[in-house]
Amino acid sequence: MNELTQIVGQSGLLSDAETSDYSYDGKIPKTIVLPASVGEIQEILQYASEKELSVMPAGAGTKLGIGNLANTTDIVLATTQLNKVVEYEPADLTVTIEAGMKLADLQNELAQHRQFLPLIPPYSDNCTIGGIVATNASGPLRLRYGTSRNLVLGMHVVQASGTVVKSGGKVVKNVAGYDLNKLYIGSSGTLGIITEVTLKLAPLPAKEAIIVAQFQNIQDVVKTGLNIVSSQLLPTYVNLLDGDQFELFEEKKPTLIIGYGGDPETVSWQIKTTHSLLEQNNTIGVHIIDEEMNQSIKNALWEFPAVGKKSTDVLVRVNLKRTDLANFAEQTQIDIGEMMALIGNGVLYLKIHTDSDTDYQQLANALSQLRQLAEGVSGNLIIENAPPDLKDHIDVWGSIGNTLKLMKQVKGKFDKKHLLNPGRFISGI
C-alpha cells in the first residue's frame, strides 16, 4: 500500500518478521501501520474511509484475542509510537500520557515520585494504556481503587471520520456535560482510536502484606471473604483460588488471598485483625506471606487472566452479584483447569484447557448452559480468549437484550461506514 507508506514512511510499517506480535485468532495481519502522530492517524483513517478498508486499532497487541471472529481486517493500526508523557502533576495525583505508552514504563516514571496507576491488568509488562482503557481492563486492585472507568479523567479520540474529539478533563472534579469517557472505555476500538488519556493516580503504599488462608470448601472462602470486604479492614484485594498454587499447604483446597497496603502501623493492625478473624471462620490453615514471596503471589494474581498467543486455553469471565459467587462456582460442571474470583467485585475467571482432542461443539454447549446459569441470577458470561474453533460455535459476548438497538445506533453515529474493528464486538457490531 504505497499510500500508507507516503503517510507514515517505511519505518511506520511493521516488517514481516514482526507481524506475529499482532496475530489473532490464528491470523497474521498483512498490513500493520505504526503512526507517529495524531495527524498520521487522521490521514490513515481518511485513506481507509476512501478505500473502504477495515481498521483494527491496537496497542501492543496483547488483547487482540478478545472478540468474535473478524469479518475482515485490512489494516491494524498500532499506537505504540505515541508513547510520551504529555503532562504530569505529582501534587495533583494526575498524569496525561499518549495512549501507546506501556503501563510498565508509566509505572517506572510514577515510582520516582512514590506514586502509581492502580490498574494492574494481565500482560502488565507489555500492555499499553490505550489498550487497557479500550478493553476496560483493571485487575484485582479494582476492589480498593476502581476500574478504568473510575480512574480515567479525560481522553482524546480520533473518530473513524478523522475528527479528533476530547472528553472529560485534567482534574478529578469534572462533571460538566455528558460523560463520553465511559462510552469509549470498554468499546474495544469500535467507536474511535484513543490517542491521549488523563488518569487519576494513587500514592505507593509504604508497606504491603498478604495473608493466605485455606478452607474445606468454596462456600466458606466466599463467606469469609465477604465478611472481610464489608468490614472496616479496607483490603486492597480479596481473591479466591480453587487450589493452593503456591504450595503453602499440604493439600490443594480452596484458598483465600487477602492483600493490604498502606502505612506500616495500619497494615500490621490489618494483618493481626484478619488473622484473628480467619481463625474464627473455619480455616484449616493460615500463612502470613513474607516480603520475599509477596511479589510472586501478586504476579500470579495479576497475570491469572493472561493467555499466550500460542495457547489454546479458553478464558471465561463471569460477572455476578458477589453473593452468588459461591453457588455459581459450585454448579460449574465444566472440567476447568483453574479458577480465580475477585470476591469483592463478583468477578469469576475460569481457565479451561483444550487440546487437539477437544470437542468444541460440546464445549460451546457447556458454556452456553453456564451462560444461562449466570443470566438466571442477573449476571453475564464473556469468553475473553478462545481458539477460533470454539468461536465458530459460540458468540463470545452473549446476548445484551433490548440495549442492542441503542448500541447499533451509537455505532452508526460514530462510525458510519463500520470501518473500526467490524464484526468483533457485541452482536457483530
Residues 118-163: tens digit of each pLDDT: 999 999 999 999 999 999 999 999 999 999 999 999 999 999 999 9
Cα end-to-end span (Å), the chain? 27
Separation CA 53–CA 34 (nearest Å): 16
Q: Domains of the chain, with CATH numbers? A: 1-204 (3.30.465.10), 207-292 (3.30.70.1710), 314-402 (3.30.70)
Residues 84-99: tens digit of each pLDDT: 999 999 999 999 999 9
Instruction: Please state the rounded mean pLDDT for residues 407-418.
Output: 93
By C-alpha distance, which of 166, 162, 159 is closest to 96? 166
Residues 348-390: tens digit of each pLDDT: 999 999 999 999 999 999 999 999 999 999 999 999 999 999 9
Percentage of the residues of the chain whose pLDDT score is greater than 90: 80
pTM higher than 0.85: yes
Say if CB 4 and CB 76 are below 8 A apart.
no
Residues 244-256: tens digit of each pLDDT: 788 888 888 999 9
By C-alpha distance, which of 195, 73, 85 is closest to 133? 195
Give the pLDDT band of residue 72 (cuts 50, 70, 90): confident
Give the pLDDT band of residue 328 (cuts 50, 70, 90): very high
Instruction: Round the average pLDDT of the chain to a whole number and report it.
Output: 92
- For residue 70, pLDDT over 90 is answered with no
